[in-house]
Amino acid sequence: MSEFTATERTKVKRHPERANYDRELVHGILDQAFVCSVGFVVDGQPYVVPTNYVRDGERLLLHGSIASRLMKTLASGAPFCLSVTLLDGIVFSPTATGHSVNYRSVVVLGTAEKIENAQDKLEAMRKFVEYVIRGRWKTVRPPSENELKATMVLAVPLVEVSAKTRTGFAIDADKEYETGAWTGVLPFAWTAGAPIADPRAKSAIPVPANIQNYKRPQ
């Protein structure tokens, strides 16, 4: 299917014209972003925790310590809400309340499944490293058996999913533009800076091209 099916829970009600359920758009946002925020409830107390993820086909993979409250709660089958946002620009309006931002966002609802098999966990860890930067896995030490045992990996199926985007300029009435305030959009983009070498590393090792020329998506 080229689109996710909108459910009562994922149907965008505020500014529905900004909603999008296109699978390719959702995948593109998820593949460019790096960090998600996961909302869940423990004993009536809501929490929102930032963590990184990797998209693996029609699912997201999460990983963390087996002692993590987030991981233990999600592994129990508790429902959660996961969100990702890319900031594309600040929208300057002629009115104080008309200011906004251009953005692309994804919301995922559901439950997670714990990955138990050691080989599957190792493959998931490889995907995490390669998601950060392609080609990195073969240059570093893989996880040890103890490190794998101390790490929990969860799979989140992409079933109840929606995207929401905003583009363009302010939407104030024409008469509001009689003020002397500058209006327009200040674009934002995530770009990498110059690599900084670890002082404990061997100084003779040059910065690899995949780090020197880093960009997202990978």
Q: 111-159 pLDDT, tens per residue?
A: 999 999 999 999 999 999 999 999 999 999 999 999 999 999 999 999 9
Look up residue 16 and give its DSSP letter: G
- Regarding beta strands 184-187 and 80-92, do their DSSP bridges make them parallel or antiparallel, or are they unpaired? antiparallel
Tell me the C-alpha to C-alpha distance, in Å, between residue 191 and each of 35, 112, 208, 209: 15, 32, 17, 16
Q: What is the pLDDT of residue 150?
A: 96
Q: What is the pLDDT of residue 88?
A: 97
Cα–Cα distance measured from residue 119 to residue 19, given in angstroms and rounded to the nearest whole number = 38
Whole-model pTM? 0.91
Beta bridge partners of 103: 87, 166
Q: Is the pLDDT of residue 217 over 90?
A: no
Query: At 203, is the pLDDT very low, low, confident or very high (cuts 50, 70, 90)?
Result: confident
Q: 22-73 pLDDT, tens per residue?
A: 999 999 999 999 899 999 999 999 999 999 999 999 999 999 999 999 999 9
Q: 163-182 pLDDT, tens per residue?
A: 999 999 999 999 999 888 99
Domains belonging to the chain, first-starting first, are 16-212 (2.30.110.10)
